[in-house]
Amino acid sequence: MIDIRLVRENPDLVRENMKKKFQEAKLPLVDEVLELDKLNRAAISEASDLRAQRNSLSKQIGKLMGMAKKDPSKLDEVEAIKAQVNAQAERLAELEKLEEEYETKIRDIMMRIPQIIDDSVPIGPDDSCNVEVQRFGEAVTPDFPIPYHTEIMESFNGIDLDAARRVSGNGFYYLMGDIARLHEAVLAYARDFMIGKGFTYVIPPFLIHGAVVEGVMSFPEMDAMMYKIEGEDLYLIGTSEHSMIGRYIDQILPESELPQTMTSYSPCFRKEKGAHGIEERGVYRIHQFEKQEMVVVCKPEDSMYWYEKLWQNSVELFRSLDIPVRQLECCSGDLADLKVKSCDIEAWSPRQQKYFEVCSCSNLGDAQARRLRIRVKGEDGKNYLAHTLNNTCVAPPRMLIAFLENNLQADGSVKIPEVLRPYMGGKELLVPSSK
């Protein structure tokens, strides 16, 4: 959510930003919110004048009442002023109600106006216009066939999708044996990797209030992702970023305590609405998974520095697991409304012979801070809005797909990279159950 003052002072910039994001249907919102803002400020001004007049008239009444002890005729003047005060009180009540209505409507519109994107963001209508920036590691295609990821897992007796469908429906899974252990090993390694980078490890709440949901994401995202607990003001988180940023709602942070750098673990729950292709079946796009996240709260002037650090952390982590990756800059039309800039880290799939998303790094500027009222007290004593950023550290089981495909050997075994062996009981190789 942007500042109403920006819309007031530079509406053309806001309109141009909508066009860059290919959201021309939202252009009328600018004029609508400007008119409401004008009416609201007029109501506020009139109400302020009435309050000043009321204070003045109240003083006059007190003075006249004192004079009425000697001159009873002054009582008529007192009654006339009281009648005027009563009339003003009725008008003031009307104005206060109007202010509340205007502010509600203004907030509703402002929540739908997208954040101003960074000048470096490539312009394009959808993810087909995302731009590859650079690659890390050699994308190798082996000379033996790579099975579909669920087939690899099944060779280790490591997954049961049929039982999960009976118990929970589509989009769920049982992981077992070495595959389940590998799942947890990757999470534990990612946790320690980020702790080694100086990030504080956090396990947050997995349920959050609606006010926090509205503060951390746009309405279309909320509708497409969030599961609501019936009869309660609670939602299951789609990522730990939601509750991590929500932790700071209505807080004023001392500037000396920034940046706040955290790595958080949580299960994640997502509706994942819509039909998906064959490559997104199995455990690629599911309703429940676990994730290690990176979250930063910082000063505005530091947010681009942390943006670069966060996605670079992902590259380093995946390369330490022998997985080739690339950085893909998200274009304007692919950015959610709260994002200033975003990139994906995609892992190489030797089976598909293409890259697929495993991490998403985002700089949200002051959008979440404005919605949640997260402020920083500067050294000069003045408050300003913080900037927030987030990035996926690892999200198995999707990360497992990349891991298994890139570490699969010709005989069906899976090589365990050196950094992961301490988390796998020293194992250097996973051998299929049929071997």
296-305 residue pLDDT tens: 999 999 999 9
The answer to whether residues 249 and 385 belong to one domain is yes
Residues 6+ apart with CB under 8 A from 286: 171, 172, 173, 270, 272, 397
Q: Which residue has the tokens 């796998």?
A: 424
CA distance 85 to 57: 7
What is the pLDDT, as a whole number, of residue 285?
A: 83
The answer to whether residues 168 and 26 belong to one domain is no
Give yes or no for a contact between 284 and 406, defined as CB atoms under 8 angstroms apart.
no
What mean pLDDT do residues 348-360 have?
A: 95
What is the pLDDT, as a whole number, of residue 434?
A: 63
Q: Which domain-ending residue is among 83, 110, 137?
A: 110
Evaluate if residue 195 carries a pLDDT over 80: yes
Q: pLDDT of 91-130, one tens digit each?
A: 888 899 999 999 999 999 999 999 999 999 999 999 999 9
What is the pLDDT, as a whole number, of residue 297?
A: 98
The answer to whether residues 285 and 409 belong to one domain is yes
Closest CA to 205 of 266, 295, 296, 270: 266
Strand arrangement, sheet containing 341-349: 131-136, 325-329, 341-349, 354-363, 387-394, 288-298, 260-269, 200-202
Looking at 37-41, 90-94, 174-178, 373-377, which range is the least confident one?
90-94
Q: Sign of torsion, CA 180 185 191 193?
A: negative
Q: Which CATH number does the domain housing residue 326 bear?
A: 3.30.930.10
The answer to whether residues 292 and 380 belong to one domain is yes
Taking each helix axis as running N to C, give the angle between helix 74-110 and helix 28-68, from 0 to 180 degrees, rounded to the nearest 10: 160
What mean pLDDT do residues 266-284 have?
A: 72
Number of domains in the chain: 2
- Whether 415 is covered by a domain: the verdict is yes
The answer to whether residues 230 and 96 belong to one domain is no
The answer to whether residues 17 and 140 belong to one domain is no
The answer to whether residues 244 and 389 belong to one domain is yes
Evaluate if residue 138 carries a pLDDT over 50: yes
Mean of per-residue pLDDT scores for the chain: 91
- Whether 115 is covered by a domain: the verdict is no
Q: Which domain-ending residue is among 78, 110, 142?
A: 110
- Whether 118 is covered by a domain: the verdict is no
CA distance 233 to 339: 26
Q: State how beta strands 200-202 and 260-269 pair.
A: parallel
- Whether 45 is covered by a domain: the verdict is yes
What is the pLDDT, as a whole number, of residue 89?
A: 79
The answer to whether residues 137 and 74 belong to one domain is no
Task: Give whole-number Cα distances, 300 to 85, 111, 254, in Å.
Answer: 48, 21, 14
Q: Which domain-ending residue is among 79, 110, 141?
A: 110
Question: Would you tell me how many other CB atoms lie within 10 Å of the CB of residue 287?
Answer: 17
- Whether 342 is covered by a domain: the verdict is yes
The answer to whether residues 86 and 153 belong to one domain is no
Indicate the SS3 state at residue 397.
coil
Q: What are phi and psi of 385, to 5 degrees?
A: -80, 140
Q: What are phi and psi of 143, to 5 degrees?
A: -90, 20
Between 276 and 282, residue with greater pLDDT: 282
CA distance 241 to 3: 23
Task: Give whole-number Cα distances, 84 to 49, 76, 105, in Å.
Answer: 14, 13, 32
Supply the pTM of this predicted model: 0.89
The answer to whether residues 155 and 103 belong to one domain is no
Q: Which CATH number does the domain housing residue 68 bear?
A: 1.10.287.40
Q: pLDDT of 50-78, one tens digit each?
A: 887 776 766 665 665 656 555 666 665 65
The answer to whether residues 131 and 264 belong to one domain is yes
Alpha-carbon dihedral 352, 275, 207, 244, rounded to 10 degrees:
40
Residue 256, domain extent: 127-430
E runs forming strands in 364-405: 375-377, 383-385, 387-394
- Whether 121 is covered by a domain: the verdict is no
- Whether 397 is covered by a domain: the verdict is yes
Query: pLDDT tier at 275 (50, 70, 90 boundaries)?
Result: very low
What mean pLDDT do residues 264-282 have?
A: 73
Element (DSSP H or E) covering residue 399: helix 398-407
- Whether 435 is covered by a domain: the verdict is no
**Count of all residues that appear for the chain in the document:** 435
The answer to whether residues 150 and 82 belong to one domain is no
